[in-house]
Structure 1
C-alpha cells in the first residue's frame, strides 16, 4: 500500500528532542493504540485523509527545510510509515520518528532518528512498553520519559540504571505539561547527577495547546 492516513502536515519549530527550536515539517499520522492520560493529540486518533506517498514527499518539499518529524498518534500503526521514512531519508531529509515504544522498531530505516518513549506508571500505559526495542536503538536515537510526579521520576531513574540507557543513546526527561513543576525536575536531575537531557515542550510555552503548532 502506497498511502498513509494523515491528520495534518504542518511547519513549526521543533518543540522537543535535541533539535528543539529548529524549523521542522511535522507529518502527523492518524491512529494510536495507546491512551496516555496526558495525551495532547487525541484529535489524531481518528479521521484524517489518505495521501499517496508521492503527494507527501511533494508537500514536504514546499516548506524548504531539511528537518522532518513523522509523528502521531503512533506512526508505526500504519505499515507504509516504514516506506515513507526511507523515502524521506533517500530525499536527503534529516528525518526523525516519534514513537510510543509500544510497537516494534526493528524495521525502521537505520538512518532515521528514533525518538522512543518509555511509558511511566502514571502515563497509564506502562504495561505497553516493548523493552526489546531498546536493543534496536542506535547512538543517534533518543529515549524519552514523560514524567508526571516524583514517583515517576524515581521509576524512570531505575529504568535508566537497569537498562544502562545513557550508554546507548541520549535520554530525555520531560515534565508532563502543567502537571510536574519543571524546576523541581531540574533540581532532582542535578541532585542525582543524572546523565540525561531535561527538556520542556517549547511549542506549548509559545503557543499553548493549539493543534498544528
Structure 2
C-alpha cells in the first residue's frame, strides 16, 4: 500500500510549471542516495503513513486546484502509482510526476507529464540513469539536470547530444544545486555553450528557504 509523507497545496517551485498553484502528494521511499537530497525525510520506505489509492485521490480532491504533482522520495517505487495517475486523470486533474530517472516510466499513462531527472556525476548517482526512458519521452515531458559543477554541466550537454533530447522535448531544464553553483555561473555556461533548454531556480526555496511542506 502507498505510504503518504505529506499532501499540501503550494506553488510549483520547479519545472515549466513553476509559479502555478499545485497540489503535492509526496510518497515514501527512494532507491537512490543523492548527496544533495533535500527531502531525506521521505527517503525511508517506512516514512509517512499508509494510504489507499482511494484515500490519496480524496486527499488531492480536497484541495481547490486541479494541478497535482506526485513526488517523493521516488514515486515509481510505489506499485500503485500508475493507477493513482489514471484515477486522477479520470477526474480531470493535470498530473505531473517527478522521478529520479532510474526506474521505467513505461507503466505511466501517456497523459502524465513526466519530470525526469538525469543524474549527473556530482550527485554520486550518475551510474543509475535509465537511459532507455529517453526513447519514451513525449513533447510535454521534461528532463531536469541538477548541476553542481562545470563537469556536471558538460556531462549534461553530452547526454543531450547523445540521446537527441531536443528532438523529443523542448523542456530541458538546468538547475543549480543550492549552495554549490552560483546562479550567474550556470547562466554564463548556458549562454556561452548555446545550450538548449532553459535555466530554472528553485522558486520555493527563494520564497520559503528549505522549509518542507510549503
- Superposed displacement of residue 199, structure 1: 0.2
Deviation, 1:87, is: 0.7
Is the counterpart of residue 207 in structure 1 residue 208 in structure 2?
A: yes
Residue 191 of structure 1: how far off its partner (Å)? 1.2
Partner of 2:191: 190
2:111 maps to 1:132 = no
Matching residue of 1:78: 78
- Asked if residue 5 in structure 1 is aligned to residue 3 in structure 2, the reply is yes
Deviates more, 1:44-53 or 1:143-152: 44-53
In 2, distance between residues paired with 1:81 and 1:61? Answer: 16
* CA–CA separation in structure 1 for the residues paired with 2:36 and 2:43: 14
Q: Which moved further from structure 2: 44-53 or 19-28?
A: 44-53
Give the CA deviation at 1:71: 0.2
Q: Which residue of 2 aligns with 1:38?
A: 36
Work out the CA distance in 2 between the residues paired with 1:87 and 1:198: 33
2 CA distance for matches of 1:24 and 1:132? 29
Q: Which residue of 2 aligns with 1:21?
A: 19
| Pairwise CA distance, 1:29 | 0.3
* 1:103 corresponding residue in structure 2: 103
Q: Which blocks of at least 5 consecutive residues in structure 1 are unaligned?
A: none
CA distance in 2, matches of 1:212, 1:70: 13
> Residue 80 of structure 1: CA displacement?
0.3
**Deviation readout 1:55-82 (Å, 9 max, x if unpaired):** 1111211211111000000000010011
Post-superposition, which runs of at least 4 consecutive aligned residues in structure 1 deviate over 4 A? none
Structure-2 separation of matches of 1:45 and 1:152:
24
Instruction: Give the TM-score taking structure 2 as reference length.
Output: 0.97
SS at match of 1:19: coil
For the residues of structure 1 that align with 2:143 and 2:32, how far apart are their CA atoms? 18
The answer for unaligned runs of 5 or more in structure 2 is: none
